[in-house]
A = this chain, B = another copy of it.
C-alpha cells in the first residue's frame, strides 16, 4: 500500500548546500575546511552525484580515490528498518532535538586500516511535497508543495577523524544524531520540516596525507543510501501501527508495553 521507495526522478538537483553548518565534534579547523569544500560543493550539486541503487546500498559511481574504491557499508538492524519501512517509517522531530529510532548504524569494510577517515550523515528530501496523514484511509496523501527548505546540516560522527582500522573493528552508531524542527536550532542538530519525507545519507570521507592530496581528479568521499531508511518527519506519530512498533522495539519505550516480551 505505502511502498515508500525512492523513484528515479529525485529532486536532489534542487537541493543545494549554500551555507553548511557543521555539527558533531570535529577535531581540527584544517580538517573542517577540507570537508566543507569537498562535500559542500560536490556532494549534492548536479554534476558529480550520479547515485545508483544497488541491492541494499547505493554508492557514488564517479572516479573515487584509491582508498575508497573497496569501501562497502552494510546497514545494521536491517530487518527492523524493513519492518518500519513497510508501514511507512515516521521519525519524531522536536524543538530540543530527538534521536532517531531505529538508530542509523552501519558496519564498514574495505577501508585502509592505516588511513584516516571521517564519517558523516545528512538528509535529503525525497520529493518537493508536503504530506498529510489521512486517518480514514490510514495512508499518507500529498498536501501540497514542500515548505521552504531547512538550513542543510551535516552530522559528523563524533569519533571522526579516525583510522580505518578503528572504524572497521565495531559497528558505527549514529546515536548522538538528533532531529529538530526548529529552523533556528543552535545545537547543531539536523533541521527537518515536519510532514516531509527524507532519505538519510551516509558519507565516508578519506583524509589524505599532506603528501597524498595532490591527485585532485578523484573524489575523496563515497556516499551510501539505504532506501529502507526513508522516513516522514512528524511532531506526533500519525500511523498507530508505527507507534506500536516503536513501543515494541525501543527499550526506552518499555513503559508503554502491554505484554512483557523483552526479546528485542
* A contact residues vs B (CB 8 Å cutoff): 25-30, 113-114, 116, 159-163, 165-166, 209-211
Given known contacts A210-B210, A210-B211, A211-B210, A28 and B161 CB-to-CB distance under 8 angstroms: yes
Q: Please, which residues of chain B bring their CB within 8 A of the CB of A26? A: 166
Q: Please, which residues of chain B bring their CB within 8 A of the CB of A161? A: 27-28
Q: How many monomers of this protein are in the complex?
A: 2
Given known contacts A210-B209, A210-B210, A211-B210, A29 and B159 CB-to-CB distance under 8 angstroms: no
Main secondary structure of the interface of A (DSSP, over half): loop
Partner of A27, one of B30, B163, B211: B163
Contact of B27 with A162 in the complex, beta carbons under 8 Å:
yes
Contact of A27 with B166 in the complex, beta carbons under 8 Å:
yes
Residue of B nearest to A158 (CB): B159
**Separation of A223 and B209 alpha carbons in the complex (Å):** 29
15 residue pairs from A and B, CB less than 8 Å apart: A25-B159, A27-B160, A27-B161, A27-B162, A27-B166, A28-B114, A28-B163, A28-B166, A29-B163, A29-B165, A30-B114, A30-B116, A209-B210, A210-B210, A210-B211
**Separation of A255 and B52 alpha carbons in the complex (Å):** 57
Q: Please, which residues of chain B bring their CB within 8 A of the CB of A160? A: 27
Contact of B210 with A27 in the complex, beta carbons under 8 Å:
no
Contact of B211 with A114 in the complex, beta carbons under 8 Å:
no
Contact of A116 with B159 in the complex, beta carbons under 8 Å:
no
Taking the closest CB of chain B, its distance from the CB of A142, in whole angstroms, is: 44
Residue of B nearest to A162 (CB): B27
Q: Please, which residues of chain B bring their CB within 8 A of the CB of A210? A: 209-211
Q: Please, which residues of chain B bring their CB within 8 A of the CB of A163? A: 27-30
Residue of B nearest to A114 (CB): B29
**Separation of A26 and B167 alpha carbons in the complex (Å):** 11
